[in-house]
Amino acid sequence: MIGSGSNYNNARHNARSIFLGVSFVGMSVGSLVSLFQSSAQNCSVFVFEHLFRVGVFIFKFAIYKTAAMESIFFLGEQCPELGSIHILPKLAGSESLPFFLVQGGGWCNNITTCLSRKNTRLGSSKQMAKEIAFSGIMSKYRMFNPDFYNWNRIKVRYCDGSSFTGDVVAVNPATNLHFRGARVWLAVIEDLLSKGMKSAKNAILSGCSAGGLTSILHCDSFRALLPIGAKVKCLSDAGYFINTKDVSGAQHIEAFFSEMVATHGSSKHLPSSCTSKLRAGFCFFPQYMAQQIRTPIFLVNAAYDSWQIKNILAPGVSDPHGYWHSCKLNIKNCSPSQITAMQAFRRQFLKALSALGPSSSRGLFIESCFAHCQTETQETWFSSDSPLLSRTTIARAVGNWFYDRSPFQKIDCPYPCNPTCHNRVFDTKEHPDL
């Protein structure tokens, strides 16, 4: 965090009081914006409290760093920044229960693709929405989120393009790109620890897509930062990306991840148990590194993950004539031969999953849907028609697993056997590749 003197201390006190769970139930619609200037960097510190908006608590907390922390940057931030998070405080009287959810947003694998993200919400806090609604696993309502409604929910905005693994000191002045996601991650967690998270009794690290992969890659290190006596577990939603050939027979995703790891200097923040045996690019895939995770983890993933079908199985580069375009927008548009290819992808996905080996502490909810990221959406997390496995919703499965009420390791039958799926349908004007 930045600033000096009483202004900094006031900003820090306001942020701390929110994190520790001050309740705003019953307060009027409004917002409080505190703005302080840092003489050291001529950057601004913003603390936004969006109190009560249409029945949803929304909080944005963006803090820029001091000169003493000059190694920490977002991908394209001109002003050095500690991080950007949204916090929904827990109900008054509840014990300290931090729930971290890391935003998704893919990755950038080289200078060109990283420059394209630099001035977007995925590279600069200046472009990030100041408000964000919490639903699904982030909801504060017990009827929509029965096991985690009264937790401190903290959403970490995604900014670095490497699932917070980048660590390159040198900066090319021609591009002004900063590959330092690992430092951003550590700074955010350590700052929250200083505000009271170190007294947590229970904690969950979660994430969707690239954020889901973040929760896998950082699971053990996150656990190591919290009290020994705390119950700490991880949850990955649509984060189990697999290494497999695309429809042309090329290893497109393998090459992409290898280039991404090299560009961001990520190898030093990938498990040495993997990098000592394999090239660092392989160790970005969970199938090669997650078997070493000691912290209990729950994997929620569609076997026909819509992002992986679009970008791993049938990326645009492997389909120059657009044969897969309609299929990638809606699984009902897929031809028999395309369904056959997707069934083969499912088998590869399950093979990659089996590489983890058995573990009684692991949770699995692998349904046969064409979907991506299901825990943050109310309809797929916990509703009257949510996807089911063994008559169990994702919310119930995760809750039972976290509180040790019952284990849950279920893998669905092949598509189209599950009538409860919420299969993703993309807009016809939307380009299916990211």
- Whether 322 maps to a domain, the answer reads yes
In this prediction, residue 157 carries a pLDDT of 79
Does the residue 426 lie in any domain? Answer: no
Global pTM reads 0.81
The helix (H) or strand (E) run that includes residue 363 is strand 363-367
pLDDT at 59 over 80: no
Residue at 421 is within a domain: no
Asked if the model's pLDDT at residue 9 lies above 90, the reply is no
Band (375; pLDDT cuts 50, 70, 90): very high
Residue 204 lies in a domain: yes
pLDDT higher than threshold 70 for residue 392: yes
Peptide bond into 416 cis (omega under 30): yes
The verdict on residue 434 lying in a domain is no
Report the pLDDT averaged over residues 50-77.
Answer: 37
Q: Note the pLDDT of residue 7.
A: 34
pLDDT given at position 175: 86
Question: Does residue 319 register a pLDDT over 60?
Answer: yes
Q: Characterize the bridge pairing of strands 363-367 and 231-237.
A: unpaired
Answer yes or no: is pLDDT of 294 > 80.
yes
Residue 300 inside a domain? The answer is yes
Residue 85 structural domain: 5-411
User: How many domains does the structure of the chain reveal?
Assistant: 1
Choose the catalytic residue: 160, 305, 319, 412.
305
Q: What pLDDT, on the 0 to 100 scale, is given for residue 39?
A: 26
Average pLDDT over residues 258-264: 96
Evaluate whether residue 282 is within a structural domain. Answer: yes
Cα–Cα dist 312/309, whole Å = 6
Say yes or no to pLDDT of 330 above 80: yes
Q: Which of 50, 372, 386, 412 is catalytic?
A: 372
Whole-number Å distance between alpha carbons of 158 and 179 = 13
Unique residue bearing structure tokens 């849950």? 408
- Rounded Cα gap, residues 221 and 264, in angstroms: 19
Q: Which of 34-38, 154-158, 178-182 has the lowest mean pLDDT?
A: 34-38
Q: What is the mean pLDDT of the chain?
A: 79
pLDDT > 90: percent of the chain: 57
Active site residue 86: no
Does the pLDDT at position 69 exceed 70? no
Please report the pLDDT score of residue 427 as a whole number: 85
Quote the pLDDT of residue 119: 65
Bridge pairing between strands 98-102 and 152-156:
parallel
pLDDT tens digit sequence for 98-134: 766 777 778 999 999 888 886 665 555 565 656 666 7
> How far is Cα 138 from Cα 375, in angstroms, rounded to an integer?
9
Q: Output the pLDDT for position 5.
A: 35
Predicted confidence band of residue 72 (pLDDT cuts 50, 70, 90)? very low
User: Residue 238: is its pLDDT beyond 70?
Assistant: yes
CATH of the domain at 316: 3.40.50.1820
Domain assignment present for residue 296? The answer is yes
Catalytic residue among 84, 206, 209, 386: 209
Tell me if residue 305 is catalytic: yes
Q: Is 404 a catalytic residue?
A: no
pLDDT for 53: 28
Tell me what the mean pLDDT of segment 242-264 comes to: 97
Q: How confident is the model at residue 190 (pLDDT cuts 50, 70, 90)?
A: confident
Most confident of 23-37, 91-105, 187-201, 249-263: 249-263
Between residues 175 and 83, the one the model is more confident about: 175
Residue bearing tokens 């056959």? 340
